């Protein structure tokens, strides 16, 4: 097999793995502490992407669009957490999954109404190619790999080395004892949900 093909496939596989990690880390955080299956995590990703497209189309600035997408996602997630999830924390996991599926359907309907059904491409912020052992690979794929790695390290550091992270991990193991220490477990739920969606 051609060495160039192997390198290209390896970089493509790593970059796609990075994308899937960024999509699913929120699901893991939500289920780990809050014991809810938040299928609408993918909805927040989509809303953020469409908002990024909108701002980039208006301003031509990808990084401004990315910031707007993240902020929009956080605001929508905060609204959904307060209105929907805060009422079902004591319910069964299956109940949360069904409810989040409903939120997802409503969100998809709104996206179709606002942005239509046509794909909305955004030009990759990192142009050019990088030479890896004589093989040209897109710079954007390397950017995605590095971004996913940094997010992973940041999440690990937050959960293991900070006071809030320690409280979240303690809440996963025994929420009642955490509340007995005077920590508002529902505020931790909100923080975890916002971290998961952003």
pTM of the model: 0.76
Mean pLDDT, consecutive 10-residue segments, the chain of 198 residues? Answer: 76 85 79 76 86 90 88 87 77 80 89 86 75 77 86 84 78 70 72 71
Give the whole-angstrom CA distance, residue 2 versus residue 62: 36
How much is the pLDDT for 1?
57
Domains of the chain: which residue ranges? 35-123
Instruction: Please report the pLDDT score of residue 172 as a whole number.
Output: 67
DSSP the chain: --HHHHHHHHHHHHHHHHHHHHHHHHHHHIIIII----TTHHHHHHHHHHHHHHHHHHH--HHHHHHHHHHHHHHHHHHHHHHTGGGSTTS-HHHHHHHHHHHHHHHHHHHHHHH-SS------SS-SEEEETTEEEEHHHHHHHHHHHHHHHHHHHHHHHSHHHHHHHHHHH-HHHHHHTT--HHHHHHHHHHHHH-
Question: What pLDDT score does 121 carry?
Answer: 80
Q: Which structure tokens are listed for 85?
A: 């999830």
Closest of 195, 198, 192 to residue 36, by C-alpha: 192
């Amino acid at each position: 097999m051609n060495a160039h093909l192997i390198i290209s496939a390896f970089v493509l596989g790593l970059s796609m793995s990075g994308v899937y990690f960024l999509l699913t880390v929120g699901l893991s955080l939500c289920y780990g502490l809050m014991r809810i299956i938040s299928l609408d995590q993918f909805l927040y990703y989509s809303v953020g992407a469409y908002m990024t497209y909108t701002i980039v189309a208006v301003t031509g600035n990808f990084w401004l669009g990315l910031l707007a997408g993240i902020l929009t996602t956080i605001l929508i997630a905060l609204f959904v957490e307060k209105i929907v999830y805060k009422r079902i924390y004591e319910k069964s996991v299956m109940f949360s999954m069904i409810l989040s599926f409903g939120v997802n359907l409503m969100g998809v309907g709104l996206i179709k109404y606002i942005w239509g059904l046509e794909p909305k491409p955004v030009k990759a912020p990192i142009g050019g190619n990088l030479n890896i052992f004589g093989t040209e690979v897109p710079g954007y794929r390397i950017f995605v790999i590095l971004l996913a790695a940094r997010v992973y390290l940041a999440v690990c550091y937050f959960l293991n080395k900070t006071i809030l992270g320690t409280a979240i991990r303690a809440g996963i193991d025994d929420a009642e004892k955490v509340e007995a220490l005077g920590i508002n477990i529902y505020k931790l739920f909100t923080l975890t949900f916002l971290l998961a969606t952003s």
